[in-house]
Amino acid sequence: MNITTFAKRLCLLVPLLLSPAAFAAEMMPSPPQLAAKAYVLMDASSGNVLVENNGDQRLPPASLTKLMTAYIATLEIRRGQIGENDPVTVSENAWRTGGSRMFIKVGSQVTVSDLLHGIIIQSGNDASVALAEHIAGSEDAFADLMNKTVADLGMTNTHFMNPTGLPNPEHYSSAHDMAVLARAIIHEDPAHYAIYSQKEFFWNGIKQPNRNLLLWRDKTVDGLKTGHTDEAGYCMVSSAVRDGMRLIAVVFGTNSEVARAAETQKLLTYGFRFFETQTFYQKGAELAQAPVWKGTTNQVKAGLAQDLTMTLPKGQLKKLAASMTMNPQLIAPIAKGDVIGKVEVKLDDKVVHSADLIALDAVDEGGILRRMWDSIRLFFYGLFN
């Protein structure tokens, strides 16, 4: 595909992320105002934030913390560091942990898988501590691991002191950061994400329900986690899929279990009603070829480093236009992944988003005759251009 053909197709498809703020307010109603301290609505595919209020405010996350505890555990499983069926001996420290409980017994052995279910479904503080100690040796060491993972995910307003979410002045997160974490959980490990949709878990003769009321009220909701302390209020991170579009809703600081479900439902309803998401190209797909000087080949394939996914108000796609430009005089050697151009998307005359085009393959430096010949050509090219 040549550059001109690609540009024509791009004008029709516009496969790039776009902020809804770029669109005029009259195109859609204002988002709902929620009875919550902070909230965020994010598209799970693009990562676009569609609605937010105090999204970066640092607040106590209560048991939403356990999303990170479970995320690290599943990472360790996938890396082969621990196994689903590994026995975990319950310490007295884990057994004595207050708050919501799985009701594991001190000195007993519980599998990693059962503890993971106890954390996600029953919100067990005892299970969280037991699994944290199994992975890192102690709660403090596990908290260090949590904060390293926070940095890896780019959660800039989060710091954890424990695996449970029990109150601590230095333990905080934000609605936006929790949406980022939820997105990682959903995309990176679909098999374990399925646990978040389970409505109840039976352990030690006790059956406890999942506290996410939306699992019973909305069949499109399939996760994630609730939290509550007196300090934090009632919090929730939820996700739902309708017509192939997945949204993540986060609310902090509502005043009741019923309120956090109702306020979350308002966000999801608004998002699905007024936005749409589409992925047009996969990362690594060849979008064009650019000329290369002094190389073993005279062209290099161009594409993008990330999937080309866009979330925008419904009906706005046709109003966008895009163009692509390549860097002038690409000279070998070119490494795979080097930036060699750019795509810009415009609404009217305003650039609303841009993305780098990268080299999909490496181009080595050509032989001496090729380099000499291209040097001569470039000399004359420079004279006339």
123, 174, 238, 239: which one is catalytic? Answer: 123
Asked if residue 26 is part of any domain, the answer here is no
**CATH number of domain containing 327:** 2.60.410.10
Residues 53, 346 contacting (CB under 8 angstroms):
no
Same domain, 118 and 248: yes
Angle at the Cα of 342 (from 339 to 346), degrees rounded to 5?
160
Which pLDDT score is estimated for 27? 58
Same domain, 94 and 238: yes
63, 128, 173, 174: which one is catalytic? Answer: 63
In degrees to the nearest 10, what's the CA dihedral of 257, 261, 264, 269?
-160
Question: Which DSSP string do the residues of 267-325 spell out, in sequence order?
Answer: HHHHHHHHEEEEEEE-TT---EEEEEESBSSSEEEEE-SS-EEEEEETT-GGGEEEEEE
Q: Which residues are 35's β-sheet partners?
A: none
Residue 323 belongs to domain spanning: 3-19+280-384
Which pLDDT score is estimated for 317? 67
Asked if residue 101 is part of any domain, the answer here is yes
Same domain, 315 and 237: no
Q: Please tell me the total number of residues recorded for the chain in this structure.
A: 385
The Cα–Cα gap between 43 and 75 comes to 23
The Cα–Cα gap between 334 and 300 comes to 9
Encoding tokens for residue 300? Answer: 């290099």
Same domain, 198 and 342: no
Specify the pTM: 0.84
The Cα–Cα gap between 330 and 336 comes to 13
Asked if residue 29 is part of any domain, the answer here is no
Asked if residue 102 is part of any domain, the answer here is yes
Same domain, 206 and 330: no
Which pLDDT score is estimated for 11? 42
Same domain, 224 and 362: no
Asked if residue 267 is part of any domain, the answer here is no
Clarify whether 123 is annotated catalytic: yes
Asked if residue 269 is part of any domain, the answer here is no
**CATH number of domain containing 121:** 3.40.710.10
Where does a domain end: 254, 269, 293?
A: 254
Strand order in the sheet with 49-53: 49-53, 38-43, 245-254, 233-242, 221-229
Mean pLDDT split into 10-residue runs, the chain, 385 residues: 44 42 57 96 94 97 98 97 96 95 95 97 97 97 98 98 96 98 96 96 92 96 96 98 96 96 97 86 84 87 83 76 82 90 80 84 86 77 68
The Cα–Cα gap between 339 and 328 comes to 12
Asked if residue 286 is part of any domain, the answer here is yes
Where does a domain end: 188, 219, 254?
A: 254
Strand pairing report for 330-331 and 288-293:
parallel
Lookup result for tokens 């009741």: 256
Residue 357, helix vs strand vs coil: strand
Q: How far apart are the first and last CA of the chain?
A: 25
Which pLDDT score is estimated for 374? 66
Domain count for the chain, please give it.
2
Clarify whether 354 is annotated catalytic: no
Same domain, 349 and 204: no
Same domain, 224 and 315: no
Encoding tokens for residue 95? Answer: 């057994």
Clarify whether 66 is annotated catalytic: yes
Let me know if 28 is exposed, middle or buried by CB neighbors in 10 A (0-12, 13-18, 19+).
middle
Asked if residue 135 is part of any domain, the answer here is yes
66, 225, 301, 346: which one is catalytic? Answer: 66
Which one-letter DSSP state was computed for residue 218? Answer: -
Same domain, 9 and 76: no
Same domain, 295 and 160: no
Which pLDDT score is estimated for 316? 75
Same domain, 244 and 160: yes
Phi and psi angles of residue 343, each rounded to the nearest 5 degrees, phi first: -115, 135
Same domain, 222 and 302: no
